[in-house]
Amino acid sequence: MPANTDDHCSSPKNIGILAISTYFPHSYVDQNELEQHDNVSSGKYTIGLGQKQMGFCHDNEDVCSLCLTAVSNLIERNEVSYNEIGRLEVGTETIVDKSKSVKSVLMQLFVESGNYDVEGVDSTNACYGGTAALFNSIAWMESSYWDGRYALVVCGDIAVYASGNARCTGGAGAVAMLIGPNAPLVFEQGLRSSYIRHAYDFYKPDLTSEYPTVDGKLSVECYITALDSCYQSYCTKAEKRLKLPTSSFSLQNIDYMLFHTPYCKLVQKSLARLVLNDVVRDTIHCYCDKHRKDAQEIQQFKDTSLPSCIFDRTIEKSCMTASSNIFNEKTSPSLLIARRVGNMYTPSLYGCLVSLLVSTSSEQLLGKRIALFSYGSGLAASMYSIKIQDTSSTSSRFTLDTLQHNLCDVIKKLDSRQKFSPVDFTKVLERREHVYNKCNYTPVSDEQVLFPSTFYLSNIDEKFRRTYKRKPSHDVIVTNGDSSMNGHH
């Protein structure tokens, strides 16, 4: 157990991420080939959006199967008992039931342990739900209701769009995070800012369809406006919390800057936007010599009104050029999965965290600050930060080396996926559209389109009850009777 469950006298210290796992589909489509298939200009998806590949799910995967796989992988690889989990909360916007939560489906994994005393349900607000679930779990652990056990936060979504210019920005995946004290990735207390308001930039009013309604220009405006507000508020709080002089906290104090990633080019523009914020805030004097010299190239914009220049292409291009070195150092390493899988919605930001962890050595990470910007349309956004600590000398069983080791197959799995032609990809989405909300249905796709040890949807009965099975690993043969999981035990 993580702590004495009878001892509520002391508060947990250094709450953060103890372990993390990610899942993305075995199937993908190449964005170069998709450009040709869609008859758009060469480079529109690959250069204009910054995307290389896009993962997608067949009809035998849904949000529940994605989350089942992410959770089981995390538990098994880190040798955690289901009895050690006291809270499990899911962030998702992929709805398979208007009442029953995805979290309740995940409780099938707890049957053998007999542990049903597990708080939490689902949090929903577009791509922000995972962050809401994370904040709720931190609050539980800091409260008088914490019983000494770990929290488990799961983000999962399938992002698909109707045929047209937005389809190339889809993706799918899940991320599971084990939260507890004495963590290698520690949430910085008091350093969190939020921006929440009403907007119709992206939403899903049609419950008979997987596809969203999107106002692309408004979505970008909302994202950048939320980013400006969260960053400025975060900096102000950081100056007070860290006892720094006013107007002295800047990107120089952030070692790695991660963003929710609808597409990678927006992230590059967002990092440039933060440099512009620092110019307007007059904090680039805090930059190191190399970065300060770069930022001074846009010093002429120091009196710019930020709200009025969101779509000013001259300013945007100048800022991206001036910030290219900062982007390559602080943000680019976090885009590995996003470039090759696409937008996973709620797991997107946390896929960026996984990407950073598998792309950067522990020596480069220890002692560093990671700032994370989470955005969900509609809209809700937050910025917060993580400090990476060395727990190897403590009694904690979770270290940065262990966390990274358990992610060591991410790149191998990206490289081992199966590529589908745009024609076949389109057929898969057409089938998903045709069978959406169907009952008494058995998926036509087989296990060959799945990674080993992946959970998958095996049947939806006449009462819409879903049954799941798990594909065996390479070296384990599991009978049908042993591998099935029913949503109606």
Q: Decide if pLDDT at 484 tops 90.
A: no
Residue 2 in any domain: the answer is no
Residue 1 in any domain: the answer is no
Predicted TM-score (pTM) of the model is: 0.94
Task: Name the residue among 64, 77, 51, 62 with its Cα closest to residue 109.
Answer: 64
Does the annotation mark 127 as catalytic?
yes
Residue 452 in any domain: the answer is yes
Q: In whole angstroms, what is the distance from residue 35 CA to residue 25 CA?
A: 21
Determine which one of 67, 127, 230, 235 is catalytic. 127
DSSP string of 20-70, one letter each residue = EEEE--SEEEEHHHHHHHHT--TTTTTTSS---EEEE--TT--HHHHHHHH
Tally the domains of the chain. Answer: 1
pLDDT in tens, 107-152: 999 999 999 999 999 999 999 999 999 999 999 999 999 999 999 9
Does the annotation mark 8 as catalytic?
no
∠234-235-240 over CA atoms, to 5°? 100
Residue 3 in any domain: the answer is no
Per-residue confidence band for 396, with pLDDT thresholds at 50, 70 and 90? confident
Does the annotation mark 260 as catalytic?
yes
**Which residues, 6+ apart, have CB-to-CB distance to 264 below 8 Å?**
49, 50, 51, 335, 338, 339
**Please, what is the average pLDDT of the chain?**
93
Task: Name the residue among 401, 355, 179, 133 with its Cα closest to residue 256.
Answer: 355
Q: Looking at residue 395, what is its pLDDT?
A: 73
The two structure tokens encoding residue 186 = 């520690």
> Please, what is the angle between helix 129-142 and helix 348-359, to 10°?
80
Determine which one of 67, 260, 291, 319 is catalytic. 260
pLDDT in tens, 275-327: 999 999 999 999 999 999 999 999 999 999 999 999 999 999 999 999 999 99
Mean pLDDT score, 408-423: 96
Determine which one of 61, 93, 119, 188 is catalytic. 93
Residue 426 in any domain: the answer is yes
Contact 170, 108 (CB under 8 A): no
Residue 226 in any domain: the answer is yes
Q: Torsion angle, CA of 175/17/354/330, rounded to 10 degrees?
A: 140
- 317: containing domain: 16-486
Classify 441 as helix, strand or coil: strand
DSSP string of 241-255, one letter each residue = HTTPPTT---GGG-S
Phi, psi of 72 (to 5 degrees): -60, -40
The two structure tokens encoding residue 393 = 């000398």
Contact 425, 36 (CB under 8 A): no
Q: In whole angstroms, what is the distance from residue 472 CA to residue 424 CA?
A: 26
Residue 412 in any domain: the answer is yes
Residue 322 in any domain: the answer is yes
> For residue 54, what is the domain's CATH number?
3.40.47.10
DSSP state of 323: T
∠250-252-258 over CA atoms, to 5°? 85
